Structure 1
Amino acid sequence: MEVILKEDVNNLGHRGDVVKVAAGYGRNYLLPQNLAMEANAANKAVIEQMKNSAVRKSAKEKTEAESLVAQLDAASLNFTRKTGENDHLFGSVTSSDIAQQLEEKGFTIDRRKIHLDEPLKSLGEFLVPVRLHREVTAHLKVVIAAEEA
């Protein structure tokens, strides 16, 4: 099945691309989520207009992301957690926790843009990558301290 992507989809393609996908993936995920539309003759005529629009939208998003990078690089998030032996945390600090604290500071960033290989489970300072745009990544400083007994 051929579809035209309306949005960037990880490991598949970018907005405006015509890609071939499995019929079930297209029918059950891409089309209902409004991430793609079927690539038929009528829709193929719309591709060029979508690509031009996508280029403008991507350029605008990139400039917004670049301005946000400076603010995020200067920001620092502090978490206090209970610890056990060897300074291991009871629980962890996840991308959801980071997104929630960013929102409290006035930044609206989707937790899926915060790239943690695994949740943070020890004390210390960490640089967490935040992918704001496919070409722009900020590095957020996260400090985890022990909770006072």
Structure 2
Amino acid sequence: MKVILLSELRGKGGEGDIVDVAQGYAENYLFPQRIAIAATKGNIKQLEERRHNIAKREEQRIADAEATKAALEGKSVTVEAKVGEEGQLFGSVTTAMIADAVKDQLGIEIDRKRIERTANIKTAGVHKVNVNLYREITATLEVTVGDAEWFAAQAAAAEAEVAEAAEEAAEEVEVEVEEIVVEEAAE
């Protein structure tokens, strides 16, 4: 059955597109939700008259999606979750939790349904998630997951690593100074 989409339908098309769908899907979901109308001759004629307005709205949606992508791309948010032994979470991080973290920390409101995870987030650490903003416009976001203890342990480990690197550098400088002193004494 051919229908005219009144709004974006993921995987099918955007507003004003004429697409083929199953009749039951159209009658039981698309029509009652006002996502589409039947592609009759009269409706197609009305669509042709509205093409200019649809194109303007489409440009605005794309511009908004690009602006949101620029604001999200490469950013990082932190999600608090209870961490058990060996970095395993008690439960998993949901898309709603990520959407709330983005809203609270970055001030950008995104629909949780637009957040795409390749797998469930069940471990503490840094995870990358994609946010499908509009059609092919997608932003990548880093989500850091953990609780206060886990973050403190990570900070302590990083601090110890920096201290160890500084100590090694100091030892190297000390060895080089001793070699220079020995060379100067030999001359």
* TM-score bin (small chain): 0.7 to 0.9
Mark the CA change 1:21 to 1:79 in structure 2 (over 3 Å): closer, same or farther: closer
- Equivalent in the alignment of 2:180: none
- Equivalent in the alignment of 1:51: 51
Gaps of 5+ in 2: 151-187
Amino acid at match of 1:46: Q
Aligned equivalents of 1:144, 1:98: Cα separation in 2? 10
Residue 64 of structure 1: how far off its partner (Å)? 1.6
Amino acid at match of 1:21: V
Of the two, which has the highest radius of gyration?
2
TM-score by length of 1: 0.88
Structure with the higher fraction of residues in helix conformation: 2
Contact 1:6 1:34 (8 Å CA) reproduced: yes
Aligned equivalents of 2:13, 2:116: Cα separation in 1? 20
CA displacement 1:53-91 (0-9 Å, x = unmatched): 232212111112222222212532112322223211111
Amino acid at match of 2:81: R
Q: Does the residue aligned with 1:69 lie in a helix, a strand or coil?
A: helix
Q: Does the residue aligned with 1:148 lie in a helix, a strand or coil?
A: helix
Structure 1 runs of 4+ with >4 Å offset: none
- Equivalent in the alignment of 1:123: 124
Contact 1:15 1:51 (8 Å CA) reproduced: no
- Equivalent in the alignment of 1:107: 108
Mark the CA change 1:87 to 1:131 in structure 2 (over 3 Å): closer, same or farther: same
Contact 2:31 2:37 (8 Å CA) reproduced: yes
Mark the CA change 1:22 to 1:69 in structure 2 (over 3 Å): closer, same or farther: closer
Aligned equivalents of 2:11, 2:76: Cα separation in 1? 31
Matches within 5 A, 1:1-149: 1-105=1-105, 106-148=107-149
RMSD: 1.9
Contact 2:79 2:98 (8 Å CA) reproduced: no
Contact 1:2 1:20 (8 Å CA) reproduced: yes
Q: Which has the higher contact order (CA 8 A, sep 6+)?
A: 1
TM-score by length of 2: 0.71
CA displacement 1:20-49 (0-9 Å, x = unmatched): 322211111000111101111211101223
Contact 1:15 1:54 (8 Å CA) reproduced: yes
Aligned equivalents of 1:59, 1:46: Cα separation in 2? 20
